[in-house]
Amino acid sequence: MTTATSSQAASNGAGLIWFDGELVPEERAQVSVLTHALHYGTSVFEGIRAYETRRGAAVFRLPEHARRLLDSAKILGMRTDLTVERVAAAVVETVAANARKHAYIRPLIWYGSDALGVSPERNRLHFMVATLPWGTYLGDDVIRKGARLMTSSWRRSPGDVLPTKAKAGGNYVNSVLANIEAKSNGFDEALLLDKQGFVAEGSGENVLLVRDGTLQAISTSVNLRGITRDSVMRIAEAGGLSVETVMATRDELYTADEVFLVGTAAEVTPVASIDRRPIGIGAAGPVALDLRERYLRAARGEVAEFEHWLTYVDG
Ligand code: PPE
């Protein structure tokens, strides 16, 4: 571990951050070391992307992300007076203030530093929105070659242990453990199973597969109800592909024609192998690459049918 000094320059390239109603430079957007969320993982967040379109930057499926952020807060019992409209306005304002053409957007609601101790009640809630200049999530190379996945020895925490429908900070310890296990074993990403052995999701993505020309989406039992998963299923249907929801075991993934990961950060990332077994052709598959292309075209405002998914930053 590298130990930071508090004078270290901000390194995320976030520029101006929305912080409790004000836009402040990243180096001034700081919190106390006694922040409740830092000690107990009591935060909820979103991952959203803005894409460059002919009409300037546009945020992809913003109302859906804002709604899920507030749903996550509700699941954690957070009493916030934020609304979908206020979250969306803060996102748009932050993208505009940084003059970003495209961005990865990270809104966060968290309990502050008024009173340490498990009970969060006496802590005020805070809200921030950061915009980051992220490119592809697992690297351009992985898109070309396909990701190498490892089935994690860590199971996805069941919904009666941690609420998997909430995008809560604390939940992500499960993802971090799986991710570092996969990376330290030389893989690109982890695949998590649930306690029964069914495929749950990646450390930060949902899983889709193709079998005999049908797109199969892993059902949303113990995973996040992914917005990209929903977008890709609708795009596939619009393109005439049959789409169904399935429970799948890891061996069913081994024998699929294609497997891919979908998420806001990962977009559509083809999978080349799982546990060193080649999937299909053992490289990025044709359906994955086609859906990736069509997803990105929709996000860039090039598909009239899906333009209602965009919120243009300049009105
Ligand atoms: N499952 C998990 C566990 C998850 O974190 C994500 C998003 C998804 C599924 C896909 O959800 P959606 O973005 O709505 O399609 N992961 C976010 C966090 C990535 C990170 O490293 O942080 C993301 O993609 O923004």
How many angstroms does the Cα of residue 134 sit away from the middle of ligand 1? 14
- Alpha-carbon Rg for the chain, nearest whole angstrom, is 20
Bridge partners (DSSP) of residue 214 are 211, 242
Considering the chain, what percentage of its residues have pLDDT values greater than 70?
Answer: 97
- pLDDT tier, 138 (very low <50, low <70, confident <90, very high otherwise): confident
Residue 133: per-residue pLDDT? 93
- pLDDT tier, 221 (very low <50, low <70, confident <90, very high otherwise): confident
With contact defined as beta carbons under 8 Å apart, do 171 and 164 qualify?
A: yes
Shortest-distance Cα residue to atom 10 of ligand 1: 263
CATH of the domain spanning 6-132:
3.30.470.10
Residue 136: per-residue pLDDT? 87
Residue 234 burial by Cβ neighbours in a 10 Å radius (0-12, 13-18, 19+): middle
Angle in degrees, 0-180, between the axes of helices 62-75 and 84-97, rounded to the nearest 10:
120
Of 97, 117, 113, the closest CA to residue 105 belongs to 97
- 167 classed as catalytic: yes
How many angstroms does the Cα of residue 232 sit away from the middle of ligand 1? 14
Shortest-distance Cα residue to atom 25 of ligand 1: 47
Residue 10: per-residue pLDDT? 63
Strands (E), the chain: 16-19, 22-25, 43-45, 48-53, 56-60, 103-111, 125-132, 147-151, 189-193, 199-202, 206-211, 214-218, 242-246, 258-263, 267-274, 277-278, 310-312
Alpha-carbon distance of 294 to 292, in angstroms, equals 6
Asked if residue 112 has its Cβ within 6 Å of ligand 1, the reply is no
Active-site position among 165, 167, 183, 195: 167
Q: Counting atoms of ligand 1 from 1, which one is nearest the CA of 48? A: 25
Q: What residue spans define the domains of the chain?
A: 6-132, 140-299
pTM: 0.96
Asked if residue 72 has its Cβ within 6 Å of ligand 1, the reply is no
Of 188, 230, 185, the closest CA to residue 206 belongs to 230
Residue 3: per-residue pLDDT? 66
Topology at the third CATH level for domain 140-299:
D-amino Acid Aminotransferase; Chain A, domain 2 (3.20.10)
How many angstroms does the Cα of residue 208 sit away from the middle of ligand 1? 14
Asked if residue 47 has its Cβ within 6 Å of ligand 1, the reply is yes
How many angstroms does the Cα of residue 119 sit away from the middle of ligand 1? 28
Question: What token pair was written down for 47?
Answer: 């991952």
Whether the pLDDT of residue 9 is over 60: the answer is no
Shortest-distance Cα residue to atom 8 of ligand 1: 205
pLDDT tens digits, one per residue of 157-179: 999 999 999 999 999 999 999 99
Mean pLDDT of 91-102: 97
pLDDT tens digits, one per residue of 37-76: 999 999 999 999 999 999 999 999 999 999 999 999 999 9
Alpha-carbon distance of 82 to 100, in angstroms, equals 24
Which amino acid is present at 148?
A: R
Chain centroid to CA 306: 20
Asked if residue 267 has its Cβ within 6 Å of ligand 1, the reply is no
Angle in degrees, 0-180, between the axes of helices 227-238 and 62-75, rounded to the nearest 10:
140
Of 137, 180, 147, 176, the closest CA to residue 276 belongs to 147
